[in-house]
Amino acid sequence: MSNTKKADPYRRLLKWTIILLVLLALLATAYVLMDKYQQGERDRAALRIEEENQALIEDYNQRLAAFRESHQTTGEVRAWPAPKESGWDVLDVSDFPVAAEKEAAVTREELLLGGLLLVNRWHAMPADFTLAEPQLKSIGTETSFRVGVTNREVQLLAPVITALDAMIGAAKEAGFESYIVRQGYRTAQEQTALWDQEVALYTDRYAGDTLIERARQRVAFPGTSDYHTGMSVFMDVYNRNDSALNAMAFQTTEQARWLNEHSPEYGFIFRFPTQGYPMPDTVDKSHKTGIDLSNMDVYRYVSVPHAMTMKALGFCLEEYIDYLIAHPHIAVYQDGELKYEIYRVAGGNGDTQIGLTSGAREYVASTDNMNGLVVAMVY
C-alpha cells in the first residue's frame, strides 16, 4: 500500500495566488516609484526652465535699458533713411518715434494668439495660455479636407487653418498636390506622455540633468513644445496611388521646395532650420532653436508681416525676437515701397492700448513671451 500523499490542489492554488499577489504588489510599487521619479525629474526640469526664463528676462531688461540710454532721440524732425529701390529692405528706424496718431484696444488673449509667442526649451508656455473651442478647430472639418490630414482630430487655431488652407490651395494651383498634415496642436498631457516614454528609454543609463538632456534631444519637455501654440504643423506628402512619392523624404519633394519658397506669403516660416536643411544653403540655427533634428518638417504661423520680414532678414523666430529687442522700430520695404512698420515695447502681459499710424490699413499685435509687445502695421 502506497504512503504517497496527493498534493492538495487548493493549497497549491492558494500558494500560486499568494505568489502572484506578491508579484503584482512589487510591480505596483515599482510603478509608483518610477512615476514619482519621473515626476521629480519633470519638477526639477520645470524649475530649471523657470530659472532660465527669469535670467533671460533680467538680461533683456538690462539690454533694453542700455539700448534706451544709447538711443535718446533729440526731438528734431528728421527723415527716415532711404530704402533700396528694388527687392526687400529692412531699415532700423529705432531713433525715430512711432507716429502714433490713433489707438486700438487689444486683449491679452489676442496678444497670446498674435503669432510671435516664443516657445522653446528656454521659454515655457505662459501660465495663462489655454486653448479650447472656439479657438481650436479640426483642420479636416474646417477645410472640408481640402488640406490632407492623418485624421480629423488634428487641430489648429482657426485663423491658422484659414492661412494653411489658402497656402495649400495656392500650391495646388501651381501644380503641387498631395500635402498632408501629420501633427498639429498638442496638449500638455499628450506631451507629458511622449516625454515619459522617452525618459523611460534611458533611465537605466542616465539620471538627473543628464537624463533630461538626453530625452530633450528628441522630445520637448512638457510645456516647451511649439505644438502647444496651435500654430505649428508637421508637413509631409501622401498619395494612396503613388508609393514612390510616399517613400520620399519630404524635403526632397517639389512640394517642399514650393512650400519653402512661398510659405512666408501666407504667414508661415520653417521653424527649425539646421545646416543644409530644409534647403542646401540653409544656415544652422539649432543653437538658437534648441532643436538639432534634420527631419523636423515643422512650419509655424507667425503672420504675414513677420514671416516676410524674417525671410528678408534670414532669421529664425528666436533671432527675429532678439533683433527686435536690439532694433525696436523697423521699416520694411519692397521695391522702395513701405510694406510694414514694426515696433516692440515692453509689456504685453495684459489687456492694453497700442499706438497706430493713420496710414496703417491693418495691424497684428502679439506678445513674444519675452516681456515684449510687438505691433506690425501693414501699409
pLDDT for 262-303, tens place per residue? 999 999 999 999 999 999 999 999 999 999 888 899 999 999
pLDDT digits (tens, 9 = 90+) for 228-268: 999 999 999 999 999 999 999 999 999 999 999 999 999 99
pLDDT of 1: 47
CA-to-CA distance for 197 and 185, rounded, in angstroms?
A: 19
Q: Which band of pLDDT confidence, cut at 50, 70 and 90, is reported for residue 17? A: confident
pLDDT digits (tens, 9 = 90+) for 129-181: 998 778 999 999 999 999 999 999 999 999 999 999 999 999 999 999 999 99
- Cis geometry, peptide bond prior to residue 134 (ω within 30 degrees of 0): yes
Cell of 302: 507667425
Query: Rounded mean pLDDT of the chain?
Result: 90
The torsion angles phi and psi of 245, rounded to 5 degrees, stand at -65, -45
pLDDT digits (tens, 9 = 90+) for 69-117: 665 555 555 789 999 999 999 999 999 999 999 999 999 999 999 999 9
Neighbours of 162 (CB within 10 A): 17
Q: Which domains does the chain have, with CATH numbers?
A: 72-116+313-379 (3.30.200.180), 122-186+225-301 (3.30.1380.10)
Helix (H, G, I), strand (E, B) or coil at 102: strand
Which of 339, 333, 344, 330 has its CA nearest to residue 362? 339
Helix (H, G, I), strand (E, B) or coil at 155: strand
Rounded to a whole number of angstroms, the distance between the first and last alpha carbons of the chain is: 110
H-state helical runs in 113-253: 139-142, 158-173, 188-200, 208-216, 243-247
CA-to-CA distance for 245 and 190, rounded, in angstroms?
A: 30
| Angular region, 347: left φ>0, alpha ψ -120 to 50, beta rest | left
CB 96 within 8 A of CB 73: yes
CB 309 within 8 A of CB 104: no
Cell of 115: 503669432
Strands across the sheet containing 362-367: 88-92, 329-334, 337-346, 372-378, 362-367
Stated pTM of the model: 0.82
1: DSSP letter: -
CB 258 within 8 A of CB 167: no
